[in-house]
Amino acid sequence: MFNHNALILSLALATVAGCSGEDLADPPSLQNETTPTWGGKPITDINPDPSIVEINLVAREALIALEEGSITRMYSFNGTVPGPTIEANVGDELIVHFKNELSEPTTIHWHGMRVPNAMDGTPRVQAPVAPGETFEYRFIIPDAGTYWYHPHVRTHEQVERGLYGPIVIHDPVYDPDYDLERVLVLDDIRIEDDGQISPFSPARDGMHGRSGNYLLTNGRRYDLAEGSAPLGSLERWRIVNSANARRMIVGNSNGTMKVIATDGGLLDAPYEVNRLSLAPGERYDIEVRLSQPNHELISYVMALDDNNEITELELPVFRVQTRAHKSSDSPVAGVLTWPTLPPSPTREITRTETILFDGINDPEKGLRWRLNGKSDWEEPLFSFSKGDTVRISLRNLAGPEHPFHLHGQFFKVLDPPRPGLKDTVLVPGMSTVEIEAYFDNVGHWMAHCHILEHAALGMMASIEVTP
């Protein structure tokens, strides 16, 4: 068992120096073509049927310009970090022709989407796609909201190297009509002075996970991420935390911000907050009124100052310059009437379970993270029947925090109460979070900590849902 010591993230803001565009087999992409609106560049839908989104995704190495004049060798989907934004309507069919051009096996997992089990992209349900091989993912998109995709094989390394992308699922019936929607994928990576990804060290990062020294917004150095909009615009910003271990705490330069959606989509009742904390894997959508010349999304980051004291930095991770309204601009949205969402059925709890989170120092393997006293469960942790509503106590017995993530189903957070449907929730050190999970999707589903180093060191299990 570990001491209850506070997690301090030191961020020695690095600057990338030098270029080393050595010998990549494939001609590398020398720039990162992300846009200020979408997390990644738009992707081509090769299917003319409006209810089918059919795309090609290739995992490959790429040389990425995180800032001007720098080149970082990363992993990418289709040559960019983040990978292209996948955009579709709820109910559409998504067909993904995936090719692995990396030199190691990989998969694609659709984080948060209640896909059929065989499409979940974990090694439980598919053989990892070997280098040079292909795989076709195909499913009907079950829910609207903000999701993301990433591999589920050696995830801590592959995601750190840049292998992830955002997913935007629209709801043509209920989505409010904003002037513009943006996706902001927040990440941090650890790089060396030469701009390359630092070597991986389980010994150093096993305890708190790997937090970086270089913050990224949509694959660019955080302070380079900017956009513009007509003054007064009302926008929807979909925020994804794709970091391995860093909790992103964000605020709004204009005061409070309105939270309108969680992992599982739109909220019945949006609410105002000063700060919003996103654990690794979580998403929140916020509503932003651009009523000032300069609007910033601020990230609050703990860092050590020159005297080795902990201070909180306020870093602008996205900036919008507003411009006078032109006649070519469409009129900006006034006050939106919030949609009346279909009522969620009240459900009786059919089972009650507990998941204990702890860690041990294994004499042979070193640090191991555990769920209910065991690392890397082979057999399912629980077996539920389709339709079960399960109250689960997530009890963290040690100091380090654990963002708990459940595949294939949504849950509500009962205590401390939080609005909306979730697939990832932070369980702080030495505390308990109560959730109510809806096991409506049949199959073998991973349940794990989304601090990717914790998952790699054993904090990973599966839950079976039988028909």
- Give contact residues for ligand C2O (rule: CB under 6 A): 109, 111, 150, 152, 281, 405, 407, 446, 448, 450
In the bound state, the residue with its beta carbon closest to ligand C2O is 111
Shortest Å, Cβ 109 to ligand C2O? 5
Q: Look at strands 145-150 and 109-111 and give their pairing.
A: antiparallel
Q: Does 245 bind Cu ion (CB under 5 A)?
A: no
Q: Do residues 129 and 106 make contact, with C-beta atoms less than 8 angstroms apart?
A: yes
Residue 180 vs 456, nearer CB to ligand C2O:
456
Q: Does 451 bind Cu ion (CB under 5 A)?
A: yes
Residue 73 vs 109, nearer CB to ligand C2O:
109
Q: Does 370 bind Cu ion (CB under 5 A)?
A: no
Three-class HEC string of the chain = CCCCCCCCCCCCCCCCCCCCCCCCCCCCCCCCCCCCCCCCCECCCCCCCCCEEEEEEEEEEEEECCCCCCCEEEEEECCECCCCEEEEECCCEEEEEEEECCCCCECCEEECCCCCHHHCCCCCCCCCECCCCEEEEEEECCCCEEEEEECCCCHHHHHHCCCCEEEEEECCCCCCCCCEEEEEEEEEECECCCCCECCCCHHHHCCCCCCCCEEEECCEEHHHCEEEEECCCEEEEEEEECCCCCCEEEEECCECEEEEEECCEEEEEEEEECEEEECCCCEEEEEEECCCCEEEEEEEEEEECCCCCEEEEEEEEEEEEEECCCCCCCCCCCCCCCCCCCCCCCCCCCEEEEEEEEEEEECCCEEEEEECCECCCCCCCEEEECCEEEEEEEEECCCCCEEEEECCCCEEEEECCEEEEECEEEECCCCEEEEEEEECCCEEEEEEECCHHHHHCCCEEEEEEEC
Residue 59 vs 449, nearer CB to Cu ion:
449
Shortest Å, Cβ 84 to ligand C2O? 18
Phi, psi of 44 (to 5 degrees): -85, 125
Residue 178 vs 357, nearer CB to ligand C2O:
357
Q: Which does 402 bind (CB under 5 to 8 A by kind): ligand C2O, Cu ion, none?
A: Cu ion
Shortest Å, Cβ 282 to ligand C2O? 10
Q: Do residues 209 and 59 make contact, with C-beta atoms less than 8 angstroms apart?
A: no
Looking at the DSSP assignment, which residues form a beta bridge with residue 355? Answer: 394
Residue 153 vs 197, nearer CB to ligand C2O:
153
Among 257, 371, 449, 465, binds Cu ion (CB under 5 A): 449
Among 111, 114, 283, 448, binds Cu ion (CB under 5 A): 111
Shortest Å, Cβ 407 to Cu ion? 5
Shortest Å, Cβ 155 to ligand C2O? 7
Residue 220 vs 450, nearer CB to ligand C2O:
450
Considering only the stretches 106-114, 222-230, 315-323, 431-439, report the one whose residues sit in contact with Cu ion under the rule CB under 5 A. 106-114
Q: Which does 449 bind (CB under 5 to 8 A by kind): Cu ion, ligand C2O, none?
A: Cu ion
Shortest Å, Cβ 109 to Cu ion? 5
Q: Do residues 148 and 185 make contact, with C-beta atoms less than 8 angstroms apart?
A: yes
Q: Which does 448 bind (CB under 5 to 8 A by kind): Cu ion, ligand C2O, none?
A: ligand C2O
Shortest Å, Cβ 75 to ligand C2O? 16
Residue 32 vs 146, nearer CB to Cu ion:
146
Residue 16 vs 243, nearer CB to ligand C2O:
243
Among 114, 190, 238, 402, binds Cu ion (CB under 5 A): 402
Shortest Å, Cβ 370 to Cu ion? 10
Positive or negative CA dihedral for 88, 90, 93, 96?
A: positive
Q: Which does 152 bind (CB under 5 to 8 A by kind): ligand C2O, Cu ion, none?
A: ligand C2O
Shortest Å, Cβ 185 to ligand C2O? 13
Q: Which does 43 bind (CB under 5 to 8 A by kind): Cu ion, ligand C2O, none?
A: none
Considering only the stretches 240-248, 283-291, 321-329, 406-414, report the one whose residues sit in contact with Cu ion under the rule CB under 5 A. 406-414
Maximum CA pair distance of the chain? 70
Residue 152 vs 368, nearer CB to ligand C2O:
152
* Amino acid at the residue 163: L
Binding mask 118-147 for Cu ion (x = CB under 5 A): ------------------------------
Q: Does 454 bind Cu ion (CB under 5 A)?
A: yes
Q: Do residues 211 and 244 make contact, with C-beta atoms less than 8 angstroms apart?
A: yes
Considering only the stretches 180-188, 246-254, 284-292, 446-454, report the one whose residues sit in contact with Cu ion under the rule CB under 5 A. 446-454
Q: Do residues 448 and 357 make contact, with C-beta atoms less than 8 angstroms apart?
A: no
Shortest Å, Cβ 108 to ligand C2O? 11
Q: How far apart are CA 37 and CA 183, in angstroms?
A: 6
Q: Which does 247 bind (CB under 5 to 8 A by kind): Cu ion, ligand C2O, none?
A: none
Binding site for Cu ion (CB under 5 A): 111, 402, 407, 449, 451, 454
